[in-house]
Amino acid sequence: MEIVSFKSILPKYKAVFFDAFGVLKNYKGLIPGIEKTFAYLTENNIQYYIVTNDASRSPQQLAESYHKLGLNVITSDRIISSGMLAKEYLDLKVNSGIVAYLGTENSAHYIESSGLKTLPVSQIDDSNINEVNALVLLDDEGFNWFFDLNKTVNLIRKRTIPAIVANTDNTYPLTKHEVAIAIGGIATMIESIVGKSFIRFGKPDSQMFMFALEQVRFKEPIGKHEILMVGDTLHTDILGGNKFGLDTALVLTGNTRMDEAETKIKSTGIVPTHVCESVIID
Amino acid sequence: MEIVSFKSILPKYKAVFFDAFGVLKNYKGLIPGIEKTFAYLTENNIQYYIVTNDASRSPQQLAESYHKLGLNVITSDRIISSGMLAKEYLDLKVNSGIVAYLGTENSAHYIESSGLKTLPVSQIDDSNINEVNALVLLDDEGFNWFFDLNKTVNLIRKRTIPAIVANTDNTYPLTKHEVAIAIGGIATMIESIVGKSFIRFGKPDSQMFMFALEQVRFKEPIGKHEILMVGDTLHTDILGGNKFGLDTALVLTGNTRMDEAETKIKSTGIVPTHVCESVIID
Amino acid sequence: MEIVSFKSILPKYKAVFFDAFGVLKNYKGLIPGIEKTFAYLTENNIQYYIVTNDASRSPQQLAESYHKLGLNVITSDRIISSGMLAKEYLDLKVNSGIVAYLGTENSAHYIESSGLKTLPVSQIDDSNINEVNALVLLDDEGFNWFFDLNKTVNLIRKRTIPAIVANTDNTYPLTKHEVAIAIGGIATMIESIVGKSFIRFGKPDSQMFMFALEQVRFKEPIGKHEILMVGDTLHTDILGGNKFGLDTALVLTGNTRMDEAETKIKSTGIVPTHVCESVIID
Amino acid sequence: MEIVSFKSILPKYKAVFFDAFGVLKNYKGLIPGIEKTFAYLTENNIQYYIVTNDASRSPQQLAESYHKLGLNVITSDRIISSGMLAKEYLDLKVNSGIVAYLGTENSAHYIESSGLKTLPVSQIDDSNINEVNALVLLDDEGFNWFFDLNKTVNLIRKRTIPAIVANTDNTYPLTKHEVAIAIGGIATMIESIVGKSFIRFGKPDSQMFMFALEQVRFKEPIGKHEILMVGDTLHTDILGGNKFGLDTALVLTGNTRMDEAETKIKSTGIVPTHVCESVIID
């Protein structure tokens, strides 16, 4: 396994898609020096987008979270989130009634649209259960796990409705050695209990990359072979990028440590085009 | 699918194993008339045992719960619970240190033994984590799901210890139309998140039936073909009984409704020897 | 569950995607009267495409198979096959060396491209195994199952290469009551044995629908809500169409029989927008 | 991870259960020096049994295979095979009709009993399919994979009968670097295709250990803590031994290499009581 510098592979590409967590930032904040990477991309006319499994906030709010950390180049139109896919699904496929959700009020606000009312699972009762036309799992916070997960199981048993999870990750890092259960992990439990499959939006699914590709092509007509997907996780970022036909770069600043990268690549059979220590350009 | 009376099949057997929930009792209490069934078994010298996926209480406490409902014939020596298997495992395989648990204090009390100290997951911290030599999932109550499930995930990531779940059921019935997530369902989520397999005790596993068979043979030398396993669930009671070589009877007072029994048998390929409406003997 | 006529739902749509097997044809040949459906679509300016999980032949050959049956309106540019996705993947991601395959010579011919040589798994040996840069599973015929499946397992264990399966179906119907194991079913076995995930192209994956959508929009700018996906299988056609944001129609001429449709919809939670007996327009 | 000599751990035990392949023998024949190990056990009055996932031959034939290699101490009463469990199941649960099988004639001969006729899947046709009351998967050889696996899938779709697989292994080693697909791996494919669960006999299931324990206790009353299970595979030998309450020793002469043992133990959470290079006693 050869490790190359991120800068050395860039000349080949006209656009770069970045995963967020483990690539641009970690539990401590932004990866130090990240602003130079974006300056370099801008200088060299390379487009960039953030492609992230995150349904807890709107692209605007996600962008603001970068601004607060001092990275102003990440504007909301640069962000492709799995929440956007969930929102598109609801807009197209659910025309009326209530969308029950697990997550914070904030996460629900974003997916609301003209014909739809969102209601936390905790507020579903006999008086409104028959109006519930979809269930969406948005965030692991904002609800009581004991009461609301039990309620969710019974809701899906009673109503034949689509259940959507807008984040395919099982966990997210909290500190260097601790993780937290993500809403994707909770979804796995509910699915196995009720015996139904959720509709999952997020990497490695192609739809995420399609959204990003449309943005890129809106500006200039470039081919898939001119795009690089950068991520820290083999099963989401690299598998998804590979399958969509993009070149891929695995970075070692997040989920995959340097001492385990080669073993993981061999045992999974998921092979990135490049391996880089980080996306930092010195 | 022929439905026969429970009484009509009994002459062939010298011992009967009963599942508890959905067979002897349901969310409303004892199945009305159940005392006549046990009177009939006693009269006809047919041994009986309760074989139950329950780790929330000791056999003594389980027996008392029947006595409170007025069924005094269920004595603690008649009860084979998955909790007994968990206890045997800890006695044989974990000799020292702390057993961390999810469940009520009561459930933990039963599994304690000379060399072992039990501690709820919530009380594990940096000062004692290195003494934790096993994790046991006992009950879905008695802990804070949000804090303690996240803590459990991190405990298993940090310590290479056996994780035991003493109840293989995903849910249990709460009312006629509502279920609750059982500790077995929670275990499934944790397993998929951490990528490790728990040691599961309970039907359909053979060890449950072995324990019961040992009790039976302590009293008289009878063959497997002279024992009937009665249950309401194809995947646990009937599959487990069949695999162990016992005759099996599916009853329709619990998890399997009369209108779906035939379809479920065909689609799963799990075929009971008999199908009865209930275990009631008129 | 209301069953409506296919004709009655068409006015709402500007394009229709059809699954092939179970919708347009079955084991006996074309569904009688199918030519009238296409005549009606043409008259009413509704675009149509065949979206099929088939990697055994090129779109040209697939089109010819319809012509031989007397249906000349199905031209090769109307066909979106999972084989096209596999071919695009190889074009973009595998630049040199040998692509080993399971399938007929014919199936391999289609995926060949400038830099790549295809070779059946049976011809891989110590002299060329290090040049193998991808494995593709194309068809269930054209090879010796015993020798070549064992060889395939060892090939994947020795080489860290992408393994692609261009058909997600487990079986296909052979006669009214018999099925045959499809290459997708074989792939599932190999995956579980080697512990690696194959890259799977085909419905329900979004990439299939994306290809079809691009064709449609090349002719006129229409929205996803103006497109209907028609299929006989809940887990591929309907789930995939729903997830991509299309309206969906389940037909009862293939995998899903009328007497089981409602039960299957409830137990899977995959709900089509419409249910029609067939696509025939009288 | 401490590596200890096999001899040093023996004083604690009154009986040892050995896995066969990877422990006593490998693809080249017996592990050199193995006869000294059995001489030592005999001298020290330690009972020994072979506990093996093998349904291709009778215990008599398995014993003869050791005699041919020069190891005469392995008599048939020392062998506990998963084929014995399959045979007991058929004896107890299938009273009449035909048992269809995949495997060699030899493997079928062993499971035949008074009321039952065995017939290879290839000989099942419309004239006898309704008499088929069980399907047994015995060996990966002795049949045409293409024709007979397809036939097996259709048999299980048509008949609601128990399907038994008497070997839970997915592969077995052929040479130092090559494996072959075992009948357990084939069973996994058929299960996922037909959506039914097979009844699986073999380690890690407790029933294997129960059979062995009964043999041991027939000679002397010893406790589970006085028995050692020795194996080369974490998921079958060690997991099964641990769960049954036995002490376990992982040896590094088969499936688990020395350089990967520690990583595998950590990532699976399956922890042997001891790790030894081999069972050889110098």
Using a CB-CB cut-off of 8 Å, the residues of chain A touching B178 are 154
Instruction: Measure CB to CB from residue D93 to each of B199, B205, B242 and give the nearest one.
Output: B242
Of C144, C181, C193, the CB nearest to D181: C193
| Separation CA B88–CA B82 (nearest Å) | 10
- The answer to whether D193 contacts C192, with C-beta atoms less than 8 Å apart, is no
pLDDT for res C35: 96
Residue D93 pLDDT: 94
Yes or no, beta carbons of A89 and C224 under 8 Å apart: no
Work out whether the CA dihedral B151, B155, B158, B163 comes out positive or negative.
negative
A266 contacts in chain C (CB < 8 Å): 160
C220 sits in the region (left: phi over 0; alpha: psi -120 to 50; else beta) called: beta
User: In the 3-class helix/strand/coil scheme, how is A40-56 assigned residue by residue?
Assistant: HHHHCCCEEEEEECCCC
pLDDT single digits (tens) B82-91? 999 999 999 9
Any residues with CB less than 8 A from the CB of D252 and at least 6 apart, and which?
D232, D258, D261, D275, D276, D277, D278
Tell me the chain C residues in contact with residue D144 when contact means C-beta distances shorter than 8 Å.
Answer: 146
Cβ within 8 Å of residue A58, ≥6 positions away: A76, A83, A109, A110
Burial class (CB in 10 A: 0-12, 13-18, 19+), A129: middle
Chosen for mutation from D27, D137, D154, D167 (greatest number of chain C CBs closer than 10 Å) is D154
Tens of pLDDT, residue by residue over D49-79, are 999 999 999 999 999 999 999 999 999 999 9
CA atoms within 13 A on the CB side of A142: 21
Interval B178-227: pLDDT, tens: 999 999 999 988 998 898 889 999 999 999 999 999 999 999 999 999 99
- Give first-to-last CA distance, chain D, whole Å: 22
Does residue D95 register a pLDDT over 90?
no
D153/C171 CB distance under 8 A: yes
In the prediction, which pLDDT does D9 show? 98
Phi-psi region of A67 (alpha: psi -120 to 50; beta: other; left: phi over 0): alpha
Phi first, then psi: give them for residue C135, nearest 5 degrees. Answer: -125, 135
Contact list, C144 vs chain D (CB under 8 Å): 146
Q: Are A193 and B171 a contacting pair at CB < 8 A?
A: yes
Q: What is the pTM of this model?
A: 0.93
Judge: B93–D245 Cβ closer than 8 Å, yes or no. Answer: yes
Considering only CB atoms, C181 lies closest to which of D153, D171, D178, namely D153
Amino acid at A171: T
User: What is the DSSP-derived secondary structure letter of residue A67?
Assistant: H
With 80 as the cut, is the pLDDT of residue C115 above it?
Answer: no
Q: Would you state the pLDDT for residue D8?
A: 98
* Mean pLDDT, residues D220-229: 96
What is the predicted pLDDT for the residue at C177?
87
pLDDT computed for residue B276 by the predictor: 98
Task: Give the whole-angstrom CA distance, residue A135 versus residue A115.
Answer: 15
Q: What is the nearest CA distance from C187 to chain D, expressed in angstroms? A: 9
Subunits with 3+ Cβ pairs within 8 Å of A are B, C
> In the predicted model, is pLDDT for residue A250 greater than 90?
yes
Provide the pLDDT for residue B176.
85
Q: Which residues of D touch B (CB under 8 A)?
A: 88-89, 92-93, 156, 160-163, 195-197, 199, 205-207, 210, 224-225, 239, 242-246, 265-271
Is C225's CB within 8 Å of A92's CB?
yes
User: Do C51 and C74 meet the contact criterion of CB atoms below 8 Å apart?
Assistant: no
Q: How many CB pairs under 8 A join A and C?
A: 75
Please give, rounded to a whole number of angstroms, the shortest distance from the CA of D175 to a CA of chain B.
30
Q: What per-residue confidence (pLDDT) applies to A189?
A: 85
Residue from C93, C157, C238, C247 whose CB has the most chain A CBs within 10 Å, to mutate: C93
ipTM: 0.92
Q: Which residues of B touch A158 (CB under 8 A)?
A: 177
Interchain pair B161, D197: CB under 8 A: no
Q: How far apart are CA A93 and CA C271, in angstroms?
A: 11
pLDDT (mean) for C45-64: 95
SS3 assignment, position D258: helix
Q: Chain D residue closest to C158 (CA)?
A: D177
Query: Tell me, what's the pLDDT at C192?
Result: 87
Considering only CB atoms, C89 lies closest to which of A89, A197, A245, namely A245
Pairing of strands A117-120, A132-137: unpaired
Q: Verify whether the Cβ–Cβ distance C150 to D180 is below 8 Å.
A: yes
**Model confidence band, residue C265 (pLDDT cutoffs 50, 70, 90):** very high
CB contacts of A206 in chain C (<8 Å) are 205-207, 210
- Chain C residues with CB within 8 Å of chain D CB: 144-146, 149-150, 153-154, 157-158, 170-171, 177-181, 185-186, 188-189, 192-193
Q: Which of C126, C139, C148, C150 to mutate to test the interface with D (most CBs of D within 10 A)?
A: C150
Task: List CB contacts (< 8 A) between A154 and chain B.
Answer: 177-179
Smallest CA–CA distance, residue C253 to chain D, in Å, is: 19
Asked if the model's pLDDT at residue A195 lies above 90, the reply is no
Per the CB < 8 Å rule, is D210 touching B205?
Answer: no
pLDDT band at D208 (very low <50, low <70, confident <90, very high): very high
pLDDT score of D168: 85
Residue D113 has pLDDT above 80, yes or no: no
* Cβ pair A210:C205 closer than 8 A: no
pLDDT of B112 over the 90 cut: no
pLDDT at B42: 97
Looking at CA atoms only, how far is residue C249 from chain D in angstroms?
25
Q: Output b/e per residue, A159-177; b: 16+ Cβ within 10 A.
A: bebbbbbbbbbbbbeeeee
Residue A282 pLDDT grade (very low, low, confident, very high; cuts 50, 70, 90): confident
Q: Give yes or no for a contact between D204 and D231, defined as CB atoms under 8 angstroms apart.
A: no
Test the B interface: residue of D207, D217, D222 with most B CBs within 10 Å: D207
Give the pLDDT confidence score for residue D189 in this predicted structure.
85
C-alpha distance across the termini of chain B, in Å: 22
Percent of chain C with pLDDT over 90: 85
- pLDDT at residue number A112: 86
Task: Confirm if A196 and A215 have CB atoms less than 8 A apart.
Answer: no
Give the residue-averaged pLDDT of D243-271.
93
Task: Measure CB to CB from residue A192 to each of B150, B179, B188 and give the nearest one.
Answer: B188
- Asked if residue A115 has pLDDT above 90, the reply is no
Contact B93 D268 (CB under 8 A): no
Model confidence over C26-36: pLDDT tens digits?
989 999 999 99
**Distance from the Cα of residue D204 to its chain's centroid:** 9
Model confidence pLDDT, tens digit, residues C138-180? 999 999 999 999 999 999 999 999 999 988 889 988 888 899 9
* Predicted pLDDT at D173: 87
Tell me the nearest-neighbour CA distance from B153 into chain A, angstroms.
8
Q: Six-digit token pair at D57?
A: 């031959």
Asked if D186 and C181 come within 8 Å (Cβ–Cβ), the reply is: no
Cβ <8 Å between B145 and A149: yes
> What angle do the packed helices D206-219 and B206-219 form, to 10 degrees?
30
- Which residues in D have their CB inside 8 Å of a CB on C? 144-146, 149-150, 153-154, 157-158, 170-171, 177-181, 185-186, 188-189, 192-193
Residue of C nearest to A207 (CA): C206
> What are the structural domains of chain A?
6-53+203-276 (3.40.50.1000), 83-200 (3.40.50.1000)
For residue A146, list chain B residues with Cβ-Cβ distance below 8 A. Answer: 144-145
Sheet holding A199-200, edge to edge: A117-120, A98-102, A132-137, A163-165, A199-200
- For the purposes of burial, counting CB atoms within 10 Å of the CB of D5, is it exposed (0-12), middle (13-18) or buried (19 or more)? middle
DSSP secondary structure letters along A108-159? HHHH--TT-EEEEGGG--TTTGGGEEEEEE--SSSS-HHHHHHHHHHHHHH-
Interface test with B, best of A27, A151, A181 (most B CBs within 10 A): A181
B267, D239: Cβ pair inside 8 Å? Answer: no
Contacts of D177 in chain C (CB under 8 A): 154, 158
Nearest to C92 among A206, A225, A269 (CB): A225
In this prediction, residues C219-238 reach a mean pLDDT of: 96
CB proximity list for D123: less than 8 A, separation 6 or greater: none
Give yes or no for residue B267 having a pLDDT over 90: no
pLDDT range class, residue A223, cuts 50, 70, 90: very high
Interface probe, candidates C146, C152, C175, chain D, greatest D C-beta count within 10 A? C146
